[in-house]
Amino acid sequence: MGASRDLLEPEMRVLYRREHAGRMIEVLQDDHSRLLAFDSHLTQSRMAIDDPNRLVLRYTRRMMAGLLFLEAAARDEPFRVLMVGLGGGSLAKFLLHHFPACRMDVVENDPILPVVARRYFHLPSDARLNVICADGARFLDLERFSTWDLILLDAFDQHGAARGVYAEPMFEIARERLSACGVLTLNVLRSDQPLFQGVTAGLIRRFPRATLGLSVPGFSNEILFAGPGVPEWEGRRSLAGRARLLEARLGMNFSTYLEEMGRLEKYAPWRRWLGLAPG
């Protein structure tokens, strides 16, 4: 489940509308696309009618840049994914469609959204997909004997980022649940400065030499990558061959993503908070 500050097009017709848990959930459609929105202004997911598995929103394509760090994905070997936040299921559909060896657990705290995703956004009933209705932070805390190769944090509500998911204790738990070469990928809104600065500082505390960021042009979204599978900033160019393989397979600009990635310290004055520089 992501967040994009798109204004909804007035010509879109309503396919579904229901108030639930203090927010209005809507599914709207025009001739070309269908989208999931909260409270008539936050676009959570968007699907192309003629190609349901394609990633339409820019931030979703850039979240997939985390695949650059997964050797198993480039080699078509099995890998496990945990996603916190389902939305319309765009990322889940994409991974299941393109990676037959992928196994996914998706945690979503709103029981309505899996129903909406299956009915309106073609989320498949697939033995490789396990959807759990639970609080993401609590689920990770309880799953003490499970590990994942890729953990995607993309949990938003009508107010913005889900605070319990984008919190320092969650990063510590996520670090413990990553495999030996695992990658943690987060979608964060830079416009929420207090939260954004706290997230970047928290990641650097736990992954001091393996934290990279990728902006989304034209939007407030920042995609952050951390974990044992993420190389130091200077080493990211060594993945150029893997980027070309993924480009040929998925039709996205992985080489561009690789070149645009940078150190997280460009985003926030984290050195002062960590006592590494004077205030």
Catalytic residue positions, numbered:
154
- Secondary structure percentages of the chain, helix, strand, coil, to 5: 35, 30, 35
The DSSP 8-state label assigned to residue 276 in this structure reads S
Helix (H, G, I), strand (E, B) or coil at 172: helix
User: What is the C-alpha to C-alpha distance for residues 100 and 96, in angstroms, rounded to an integer?
Assistant: 6
Region for residue 79 given its phi and psi (left: phi exceeds 0; alpha: psi -120 to 50; beta: otherwise): beta
Instruction: Decide: 207 and 227 in contact? Cβ < 8 Å.
Output: yes
Closest CA to 150 of 179, 183, 126, 123: 183
Closest CA to 86 of 125, 127, 131, 48: 131
Q: How far is CA 245 from the centre of its chain?
A: 21
Instruction: Decide: 73 and 247 in contact? Cβ < 8 Å.
Output: no
Sign of the four-CA dihedral 120, 125, 130, 132: positive
